[in-house]
Structure formats: C-alpha cells, structure tokens
Amino acid sequence: MSAGLSQPSEIRSPRLMWSLGTAIVCRILLNTSRRFVYPFAPALGRGLGVPLTAITSLIALNQATAVIGLFFGPVSDRAGYRVMMLGSLLTLAVGMLGAACLPFYGVVMLAFFMAGLGKSIFDPAIQAFVGERVSYERRGQAVGFLEVSWAGSSLVGIPAVGFLMQAYGWRVPFFVLGILALAGLGLLAFLLPRDRQRAGCRKDRNGWLAMIQSLVKSREALGAVGFAFFFNAANDVFFVVYGAWLEASFSISIAALGAGTAVIGLAELCGEGLTASISDRLGLKKSVLIGACATVMSYALIPFFGNGLTMAFAGIFLIFLAAEFSIVTSIALFTEILPGSRATMIAAVMAAAGLGRVAGALVGGPVWMAGGIAVTGLVSAAISLAAIASLSAGLKGWRMM
C-alpha cells in the first residue's frame, strides 16, 4: 500500500492558476513543434530539397526522445521542476530559431530532436509540479486542465503552422515558435514559485540509479508502466491504419481526412474536459479503469461503424474520447504512486508510452493487411485488456492515504 504526501489544495490560488494557464500555452508550443512535421512532411521535404524518406527519419528521431526523457525525470526530482521547465523551453527556442536561421537538413533534424527533448523534459516536470502543489482530491481537475494543451495543438497550433507555411514559407513557423518559446520562458520564470526545499526526497538519494531502483522495486510503478505501454500500443495499432480504412471503405478525400483529424482533436478535448470535471468525484483509479473498459468496447465495435462515413467518424470520436479520458486521468493517478520521485515516475510512464506507440505502429500495418479493420479492432481491444490487467495487478490493494 502506498501513502501519499499530505498537501494543501492550491488549485484555487490565483498565482497557481496563472502558472498553469501559461504552462498550457507553453505545452501547446511544445506539442505543436513536435507534431507539425507529420502533416507537413512533403512541404518540409520540398523546402529542404530532400526526399520524403529523409523527413520520416525526423519523425523516428523525434519519437526516440520519449525514451531519452527517462533520464531527465530523476534530474527534475533533484534539481527542481521549475528549473527543468525553463530549461526545456530554452531548448525548444534554440532549436526552432536555429532551423529558421540555418535552413539545412541537419539543423532542422536537430531542431525537431530538441523539440521532442524539450517536451520530454517539460511534461514530467509540470505534472510533478502539479502533483506537489495540488491535493490528490483535486489532482484530476488540475491535470485535465493542463492536458488541454494536447488537443490545443491539433485544433489551434498545427492549423496556425499551416497558415504561416502557406502564406510566408516553410521557415517562418520555426521562427514564430522560437520567439513564442522565449516569451513563454520569461512568463513562467516570473510566475512559477521557487521549487520547494524537499531535501528528504532528493538529496538523501544516491542519484539517478537510486531513483530508477525505487521505481523498479515498486509493484505499483511497474503496473503503471505496463499500463502505459500496452494502452498506447493498442491505440497506435488502430491510429496508424484509420486513414487507410477510411480511404478503402469510403474513397475519402485528403480534405475529409483532415476533418477526421479535427474529429480526433475534438474527442481529445472532450476527454480532457471529462477528466477535469468528473474524475476526482469518481476516484482516479476507478475513472481510469472505467475509461479503459470503454476503450476496449469501442475497439470491439469498430466493424459496426463501417456502414457509413458519419458512423465511422462517430466511432473514431468514441475511441479517442475514451482513450484520452483514460490516459489523462492515469497521469493524475500516477503522480501519487512515487510521491518522492514524481518526475521520475512520469518520465518512466512517458518512455513506456513512447515504446508502446512504436510497437503499435509496427504491429498495426501487418494486422490491417491480414485481417482488415475488424481484426485490427479486436487486436487493439485485446492489447487494451492487457493494459487493464497490468494496472489492476499493480494497484491491487493500493489507495492514496
């Protein structure tokens, strides 16, 4: 059984609310910087004079930063969450401005690597900061509010990049994102309170290895890491082929596929809103399991959504609504599993999620080719059940105290 640290609830503090609001904007910048390579890969390839395969290499390098971020979680727990958040924004700004000023393939590759690394450092730090400053009873509300930034990148950030790229050229978005990152750094430096002195949780440890050992020895932490791996793998098994399914079944146009992306962004926003509004009342552990079970059912029902394009979009909406609710609520839950090493815990979960997405992407294509969307849905459902089993086994008997 794991006990949490007793904390006052500060969610209504004006300074904390301003800090979280600014952090949301900064995370939109980080998420947009990391994700805009996907839809605009051909335009970037033309601008740099390289083939599309060279741009897909950028995507692979970007994904690898989720695993590298594991090494920065313990650093955040020791050095302080504020310091790491500011450092991640500086990393993003240097990368984006470097690509804007030096439009060469190697520099752009480094820029996307730095964007991914900045996100992998910022996310565990801000989530650990929330875990430290907001009581467990309001943790879901705070994390749900914070995670609106993911949907914000889909609904606001990436469309804005497209407009800038179309109107002013492919280099301008890099410049704008870099300048905005510097502005966000300045605002957070002013708004974020100094890191609390928690020597008992940081300085008594023997460094990075000791923090990782504490994670490996925790049944609860391993159950959370397993959940993150399997749940994200299941999502990408479906995600990497949903476009092919829509094209094959409905002869859908590229513009309509773009509408499908908007549907996903809206579903993510609704999922984050559900976390903020109901997860604390239901209980975080219960909410994650309810959302995960709903996700399993949504995957299993995929064949029944193939009777028309409207039904297909409705099915996609339900899948990503349930999945996002589960993922965001799980982050709030996992901030309390290792209260003395929150950033280490979240970094490990993010690394597992990244590896799960890679595994799901590798499995999704062959499964689709072999059995179509029905088998794809069943495989995603089965992998999601493994995620539920991992979390249930890890948190058996656990409760926040």
The neighbour count for residue 304, using CB atoms within 10 Å, is: 11
Is residue 8 pLDDT above 50, yes or no?
no
Say what the pLDDT of residue 7 is. 47
**Are 243 and 257 a contacting pair, CB within 8 Å?**
yes
Write the pLDDT tens digit of every residue in 30-50. Answer: 999 988 877 677 788 888 898
Q: Mention every residue, 6+ apart, whose C-beta is less than 8 A from residue 215.
A: 221, 222, 225, 338, 341, 344, 345, 348
Domain 209-394 listed as CATH 3.40.50.620: no
What string of DSSP letters covers 136-199? GGGHHHHHHHHTHHHHHIIIIIHHHHHHHHHHH-TTHHHHHHHHHHHHHHHHHHHHSPPPP--H
Say what the pLDDT of residue 1 is. 41
Superfamily of structural domain 14-193: MFS general substrate transporter like domains (1.20.1250.20)
Write the pLDDT tens digit of every residue in 251-276. Answer: 776 556 656 677 888 898 899 889 98
Write the pLDDT tens digit of every residue in 318-367. Answer: 999 999 999 999 988 998 888 877 888 888 898 898 888 888 878 888 88
For the chain, domain boundaries? 14-193, 209-394
Tokens of 230: 């399997």
Write the pLDDT tens digit of every residue in 185-203. Answer: 999 999 888 766 544 444 4
Say what the pLDDT of residue 253 is. 66
> How far is CA 194 from each of CA 86, 256, 283, rounded to the nearest angstrom?
12, 47, 30
Q: Is the dihedral of CA 101, 105, 110, 113 positive or negative?
A: positive
Tokens of 174: 């890099």
* Residue in the structure block whose two tokens are 């650990």: 128
Question: Comparing 349 with 5, which gets the higher pLDDT?
Answer: 349
Distance CA 190, CA 368 (A): 50
> How far is CA 315 from each of CA 63, 241, 312, 371, rounded to the nearest angstrom?
27, 14, 5, 19
Buried b / exposed e over 197-209, threshold 16 CB at 10 Å, is: eeeebbeebeebe
Task: Say how many Å lie between the first and final Cα of the chain, rounded.
Answer: 9
Q: How confident is the model at residue 384 (pLDDT cuts 50, 70, 90)?
A: very high
**Are 54 and 199 a contacting pair, CB within 8 Å?**
no
Question: Comparing 284 with 134, which gets the higher pLDDT?
Answer: 284
Closest CA to 124 of 161, 175, 69: 69
Q: Which helix (H) or strand (E) holds 60?
A: helix 52-68
Is residue 2 pLDDT above 60, yes or no?
no
Distance CA 401, CA 390 (A): 22
